[in-house]
Amino acid sequence: DRYHATAVAFDEHLFKCMVYIDMNMVRAGVVKHPAEWPFCGYNEIQNPRQRYSLIDYHRLIPLLQMRDIEELQESCRKRVEEDLATRNQSRDSKWTESIAVGSKVFIEATIKRLGIRAKGRKIVGSKKSYELREPAIPYGANLTPENGLLRLQNTYNWDDIG
């Protein structure tokens, strides 16, 4: 599936995920800095709305173990600048393909919550970060002999067209 939810631990992983999302338009080459894209969390945090806020700061600040909005803003700026400085602008499958991302304890708890639905999933990770992943299926692996033959009849040489 192109779009799916990824469970993220309420710790350092959540902040990294937020920065990764804020950097989407930078990775796409649309802007050079998230501040240039008006529709991202970065701008919501740096310039909080007085009314109709999209972010629940009263919940987010404690989740990220911050003292106040100023600390959240500074930390967000710092992390985005670090990401820009390291030119870390490639897609990270941790955030785009995982079922869950967090500590080993978080991943194990997620597996418990998923129950039988976690069968066949594997834990990938190191000391600081773990992921719960689905097995990778090669593109076209689900073609059966019946529809595999259709592929030969559904191709055209570019030079033969028109």
pLDDT digits (tens, 9 = 90+) for 95-139: 888 999 999 999 999 999 999 998 989 999 987 899 999 877 665
- Beta strands in 9-129, from DSSP E residues, in sequence order: 98-102, 122-125
Higher pLDDT residue, 92 or 43? 43
pLDDT score for 47 = 93
152 DSSP 8-state letter: H
Tell me if residue 91 falls in helix, strand or coil.
coil
Percent of all residues in the chain with a pLDDT value above 70, rounded to a whole number: 82
pLDDT in tens, 18-77: 999 999 999 999 999 999 999 999 999 999 988 888 999 999 999 999 999 999 999 999
CA–CA gap between residue 73 and residue 130 (Å, rounded): 27
